[in-house]
Copies of this chain bind each other. A is one copy, B any other.
């Protein structure tokens, strides 16, 4: 059982009936539901709440944070991003979903533009498992097929992932590193590509399995913050004459 917070921009849901039909309780609502069913204590938070729903107390209590954003990355306050970053470096897991590749939090943790190719054209997407030993792929098959999705294509401007878990094939001719892990400070990060708002992707059972696995994988390691700064010698240092 982990304390999980699902963050969602929650704007498409308000203005696009197609989206609110697929996700009547918001993308965050759907994700929160299947994570709660997996035994976690799940909280949701959205852009338009005070501090985007991410008060110090909420962040301190969150062990794994999921992030979905698209239209309004620029509206996320820098001081909140900074706090989330600090929490990740201090051990909170972070699951970055789909268009959150362009979120401030992902870009500042990656140090690159996180840019990519994209197309909204009902491409078939097939996510191939690249690392069959990884706990994130437990319980799924060799690939996940999504009949229609937005296309994201290489080059994806990210640091080489620590572990490449999935690579997507798209009907229109592109490939994409669609499941990537990163370690930053004491925190673990998983980027997972699928989840365009106009498709029912987060209702897909295999996609849900991957996200459930990722939450467990990203849970914080109990390890005290290392000591940084000026350090006393642990061994004697011999006095030396300058040559």
Contact = CB atoms under 8 A, between A and B. Distances in A.
A14 interface: no
Residue picked from A141, A142, A163, most chain B C-beta under 10 Å:
A142
Contacts of A224: 141-142
Interface in A105-143: 108-113, 115-119, 121-124, 126, 128-135, 137-142
Interface stretch (A56-64, A70-78, A176-184): A176-184
Contact of A169 (B137, B141, B173): B173
Contacts of A115: 228-229
Contact of A184 (B111, B118, B239, B242): B111
Contact of A164 (B110, B157, B164): B164
Contacts of A182: 159
A129 to B, nearest CB: 6
Contact of A148 (B123, B183, B240): B240
A183 B224 CA distance: 27
B227 A117 contact: yes
Q: Which label, helix, strand, loop or mixed, suits the secondary structure of the A interface?
A: loop
Contacts of A135: 221
A222 interface: yes
Contacts of A129: 154-155, 223, 226
Contacts of A184: 111-112, 133, 159
Interface residues of A, number: 81
Interface stretch (A3-11, A31-39, A185-193): A185-193
A133 B173 contact: no
A50 interface: no
A153 interface: yes
Given A121-B233, A237-B123, A128 B222 contact: no
Interface of A: 89, 91, 108-113, 115-119, 121-124, 126, 128-135, 137-142, 147-148, 151, 153-155, 157, 159-160, 162-164, 167-175, 177, 182-188, 221-224, 226-235, 237-240, 242-243
